[in-house]
Homo-oligomer: A and B are copies of this chain.
Amino acid sequence: MSPRAGLDKQTLVLAAAELADELGMEGVTLAQLAARLGVRSPSLYNHVNGLKELRTLLAVFGLEQLYAVMSASLVGVSGEAAVHAISRAYVTFAQQHPGLYDTTLQAPEQGNAELEEAGARTLQLIISVLSGYELGRTGELHAVRGLRSILHGFAALRNKGGFGMPLDLEDSLTRLIDSYIAGIGCMRTGD
């Protein structure tokens, strides 16, 4: 009567990611996920420790995907073009995977090793893009904070419909990155 659905952690996370992008982050429930996988919800506990762990796994998965597209965007480009490329990759990912993108920030379980590792890798990638500007050790960190703020803010506002005006969004992002690069000297420190 129960011919083994053959589930595992990976399958759950992939299905949950679909759910997130289709229904939004709040649509990721164990009940929904179980229904989609053709199983009763308590069965999911054989593979995952509950909703909280599922959300953490989803966050790690999302960060890995995000890292992948950002990293891929950098092949063969450098300097200003690299800043633009990684920015477009970030925002495009957030647009194409709105639910999954949301989970990457609503980190429910802090202190999680994999989560912090995935975050740290992304950080390093952004640092590498900015290394050409000779910003200094702490200046580099200010600059990374700045770029992350810009990218998350733009992505989130666009995804939530925060930009009401009928004005080209690509153009807005390009200009915002251009202005960031133009003013990047303000980040420079002497260390």
Instruction: Using CB atoms and an 8 Å cutoff, list the residues of chain A in contact with chain B.
Output: 105-107, 110, 116, 119, 138, 141-142, 145-146, 148-154, 156-157, 160-165, 167, 171-172, 175-176, 178-187
B148 contacts A150, C-beta separation under 8 Å? no
Q: Is the Cβ of A152 less than 8 Å from the Cβ of B157?
A: yes
Given contacts A146-B176, A183-B182, contact A156 B160 (CB under 8 A): no
Flag if B119 contacts A164 (CB, 8 Å): yes
State the number of copies, please. Answer: 2
Q: A152-B156, A153-B153, A175-B187 are in contact. Are A163 and B145 (CB under 8 A)?
A: yes
Closest to A171 in B: B142
Could you say which residues of chain B place their CB within 8 Å of the CB of A164?
Answer: 116, 119
The 8 closest A-B pairs by CB, nearest first: A153-B153, A179-B183, A182-B183, A149-B153, A183-B183, A179-B186, A149-B154, A178-B186
Q: Which residues of B contact A185 (CB under 8 A)?
A: 179, 182
**Chain B nearest Cβ from A26, distance in angstroms:** 9
A-B contact pairs, 5 of them (CB 8 A): A106-B160, A142-B171, A152-B153, A156-B156, A178-B186
